[in-house]
């Protein structure tokens, strides 16, 4: 067990550097967490520690109520939201939160990013939806994420006037969704400066999403 947790600590610490690499975070904002497979535990970033100082050792191990099980720092102030998602979505193995610029600009408008690019149809399969305005401190952010993404293909939600939360089968998938979310939020914003982006027919969105999610990519080698 402790070996699996050590691996996850390293993975989560490394994935935080991807948020920096793709320009999704400033100062200490943003966080990545991962569920410990088969356990009611999660690994998350410590609160208020700079990205340069994140190590596998200072990642925080919490239970799914957000209580610290192991760690010298306080966990991220968004831990309750991550824990709520893991409690209510057993299919989710990773959660990411950022205030990335373009996606948060859409969140500030309370406006979903429309699905007007094939890359969006691939990764999100729909618009990127808006979740409710919610204050930190109780379950309302977590509940807003879970309720907005229920029955939605998108792994990303823009919490109104706040920023991005993404989910994935593991932490890497959630980080990828956060990177792609910012990328398409930027491109659709630029497109809107040129005029109104053209819609993609729902049938085509469905086909693109199915192919990307089920066919695209490297196949396991034949036995
Ligand atoms: Zn935030």
pLDDT value of residue 215:
83
**91 is a catalytic site residue:** no
What does the block give as tokens for 56?
A: 């596998």
Percent of the chain with pLDDT over 70: 97
154 CB-near residues (< 8 Å, 6+ apart) = 124, 125, 126, 127, 128, 129
Burial of 21 per CB tally in 10 Å (0-12, 13-18, 19+): exposed
Residue 125 Cα to ligand 1 midpoint, Å, equals: 25
Q: What is the pLDDT of residue 144?
A: 98
pLDDT (average), residues 103-112: 98
Catalytic residue among 65, 138, 204, 216: 216
> What's the 99 CA to ligand 1 centre distance in angstroms?
6
pLDDT at 222 over 50: no
Whole-number Cα distances in Å, 26 to 20, 29, 133, 193:
8, 6, 22, 26
Question: What is the SS3 assignment for the chain?
Answer: CHHHHHHHHHHHHHHHHHHHHCCCCCCCCCEEEEECCCCCEEEECECCCCHHHCCCCCCEEEECCCCEEECCCCECCCHHHHHHHHHHCCCCCEEEEECCHHHHHHHHHCCCECCCCHHHHHHCCCCECEECCCCCCCCHHHHHHHHHHCCCCCCEEEECCCEEEEEECCHHHHHHHHHHHHHHHHHHHHHHHHCCCCCCCHHHHHHHHHHHHHCCCCCCCCC
Kindly indicate the confidence band of residue 220, based on its pLDDT and cuts at 50, 70 and 90: low
Structural domains present in the chain? 2-214 (3.40.225.10)
Reported as a pLDDT band with limits 50, 70 and 90, residue 41 is very high
Contact predicate 145/84, CB 8 Å: yes
Q: Which of 156, 176, 158 is nearest to 167 (CA)?
A: 156
Query: What is the mean pLDDT of the segment spanning 172-186?
Result: 98
Is residue 122 part of the annotated active site? The answer reads: yes
Q: Which pLDDT value is given to residue 137?
A: 83
Q: For the whole prediction, is pTM greater than 0.75?
A: yes
Distance between Cα 98 and ligand 1 center (Å): 6
Catalytic residue among 122, 138, 170, 212: 122
Q: Determine the Cα–Cα distance for residues 221 and 223; give it in Å rounded to an integer.
A: 6
- Ligand 1 centre and the CA of 163: distance in Å? 6
Cα(123) to centroid of ligand 1, in Å? Answer: 23
- 52-70 pLDDT, tens per residue? 999 999 999 999 999 999 9
Q: In whole angstroms, give the CA distance from residue 45 to residue 33.
A: 7
Cα–ligand 1 centroid distance for 213 (angstroms): 29
14-39 pLDDT per residue, tens: 999 999 999 999 999 999 999 999 99
């Amino acid at each position: 067990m402790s070996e699996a947790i050590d691996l996850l600590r390293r993975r989560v610490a490394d994935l935080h550097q991807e948020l920096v690499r793709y320009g999704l975070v400033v100062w200490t904002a943003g966080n990545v967490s991962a569920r410990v497979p088969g356990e009611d535990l999660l690994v998350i970033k410590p609160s208020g520690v700079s990205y340069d100082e994140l190590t596998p050792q200072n990642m925080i191990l919490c239970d799914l109520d957000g209580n610290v099980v192991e760690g010298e720092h306080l966990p991220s102030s968004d831990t309750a939201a991550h824990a709520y998602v893991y409690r209510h979505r057993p299919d989710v193995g990773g959660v990411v939160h950022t205030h990335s610029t373009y996606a948060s600009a859409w969140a500030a408008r309370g406006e979903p990013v429309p699905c007007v690019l094939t890359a969006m149809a691939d990764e999100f399969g729909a618009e990127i939806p808006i979740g409710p305005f919610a204050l930190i401190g109780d379950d309302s952010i977590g509940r807003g994420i879970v309720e907005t993404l229920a029955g939605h293909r998108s792994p990303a939600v823009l919490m109104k006037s706040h920023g991005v939360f993404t989910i994935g089968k593991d932490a890497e998938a959630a980080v990828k969704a956060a990177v792609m979310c910012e990328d398409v939020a930027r491109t659709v914003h630029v497109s809107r400066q040129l005029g109104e982006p053209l819609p993609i027919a729902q049938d085509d969105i469905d086909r693109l999403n199915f192919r990307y999610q089920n066919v695209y990519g490297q196949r396991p080698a034949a036995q």
